[in-house]
Amino acid sequence: MSIKIAFSDVDLTITDDEHHAIPSDAPILQCVTQHIPLCLVSGRLPGGIRALQRDLGITGPIAAFSGAYVLDEKGDELYSKTIPLDVALEVKAYLEHDLPGVVTGTYGFDKWIVDDASDPAVTQEEYFVEVQATQSRDLAGTFGERGIHKFLLMGEPDAILSAEATVSARYPNLTVVRSSPILCEVMAKGVSKSHAVRLLCRHFGVDPADAVAFGDGPNDLDMLGAVGQSYVMPHAEDAVKRAATHVCAWSNTESGVARTLAQLVAEDERLGERYEGFAARHGRRRAAGGPVGAARACGYSLAASTSSIVGMEGTAPARVTAMAEARAARSSASGTGLPTLMAHTK
């Protein structure tokens, strides 16, 4: 099967366990994206997805808020579906009154507001997505009549399970889905990652049967079923694993998405011909081994090592390398690089 487009969830799928870019993935994914679009589909707000793209040195379309807000490769809006402001105000009041044990973030376009910016759940989320929240209770003044794209509910597993059930029952006209044991997303009805996949496939003129997707959480289920090939990360829940055509051979910390994409792209013999044309147009250095060797360089370098990339055209941006070194030093000193709260996935 020829892969023509790829979709990946972000947190704990294409990131490390601290939800940040893996430096050695950068040159691999730069190679892959010379041949096929790589679309990041996440519950994050656009700025959080762009931060990861920047760290990896790649560009491409993004689907933020689990598909509620889709931007093309130039950053132009392809799709936006919001919760109307009046409904959002009602839901926010309900969450404050009936679910006091759950921390709520409110998102719209590239804005994110919270009631208390010092709350540990908020500061952890800021650390993960590399975006700072604004402390405000003013939904109307912040988002206006455009409405909001998402509420993010943060809490302990039992509280989140209860919130998913109660909010779903009270607001059947909204999409309510857990993205991890400690996170639940509330969006407009009809919002889904699979809708974003179909939209971006049409944008590129590609059949979803020729697409591959990667994920790890319950909110990835529909995306995994919308494409010809799907890979779930080894740490995923059993229900998510059953929805995919494959369980990834490598974990997120072992560069599972990058390694699998490198293999899939290298298996397409026609890639060599496409690469030759790309190199001629852009003056890129050809990889050793001829046209097909250019594609196989991805798989070869990964087979050798994910920490020492050989034969790749890109390099990990200095910023993400420095971040990784700082996190490694912090981990060595404290025994863990994570904040004290539980890690999560989206």
Examine domains 5-77+193-331 and 85-188 and report if their fold is the same: no
Nearest to 253 by CA among 307, 315, 291: 307
Report angle CA 252, 110, 10 to the nearest 5 degrees: 10
Strands 134-135 vs 38-41: parallel, antiparallel or unpaired? unpaired
Q: Indicate whether 339 pLDDT > 70.
A: no
CB 199 within 8 A of CB 5: no
- Count of Cβ atoms closer than 10 Å to residue 269 Cβ: 12
* Mean pLDDT of all residues in 125-142: 96
If DSSP codes are grouped into helix, strand and coil, which group holds residue 324? helix
Question: What integer is the mean pLDDT of 111-119?
Answer: 97
Pairwise CA distance, residues 243 & 173, whole Å = 25
Closest alpha carbon to 297 in 250, 321, 251, 263: 263
**Is residue 214's pLDDT more than 60?**
yes
Average pLDDT, the chain: 83
Write the pLDDT tens digit of every residue in 259-298: 999 999 987 644 444 434 444 444 433 333 333 343 344 4
In the predicted structure, residue 246 carries a pLDDT above the cut 70: yes
pLDDT band at 249 (very low <50, low <70, confident <90, very high): very high
Q: Which helix (H) or strand (E) holds 270?
A: helix 270-282
Q: What is the C-alpha separation between 317 and 23, in angstroms, rounded?
A: 8
Query: What are the residue ranges spanned by the domains of the chain?
Result: 5-77+193-331, 85-188
Mean pLDDT on 65-80: 97
* All residues at 6 or more sequence positions from 279 whose CB lies less than 8 Å from its CB, including other chains: 285, 286, 294
% of residues, the chain, pLDDT over 70:
77
Contact between 229 and 244 under an 8 Å Cβ cutoff? The reply is: no
Range from 111-120, 257-266, 337-346 carrying the lowest mean pLDDT: 337-346
Give the CATH architecture of domain 85-188: 2-Layer Sandwich (3.30)
Q: What is the DSSP letter of 230?
A: E
Q: What is the pLDDT of residues 145-197, one digit of tens each?
A: 999 999 999 999 999 999 999 999 999 999 999 988 899 999 999 999 999 99
Question: Ramachandran region of residue 77, left (φ > 0), alpha (ψ -120 to 50) or beta?
Answer: beta
Q: How far apart are CA 204 and CA 185, in angstroms?
A: 28
Q: Is the pLDDT reported for residue 63 higher than 50?
A: yes
CATH tag, 5-77+193-331: 3.40.50.1000
Question: The pTM is what?
Answer: 0.80
pLDDT of residue 179: 87
What count of other Cβ atoms lies within 10 Å of the Cβ of residue 205? 8
| Mean pLDDT confidence for 304-313 | 34
In this structure, of 31-45, 68-82, 106-120, 308-322, the range with the lowest mean pLDDT score is: 308-322
Helix ranges, 99-237 (H): 120-129, 139-143, 157-170, 193-204, 221-224
Residue 180's pLDDT is 86
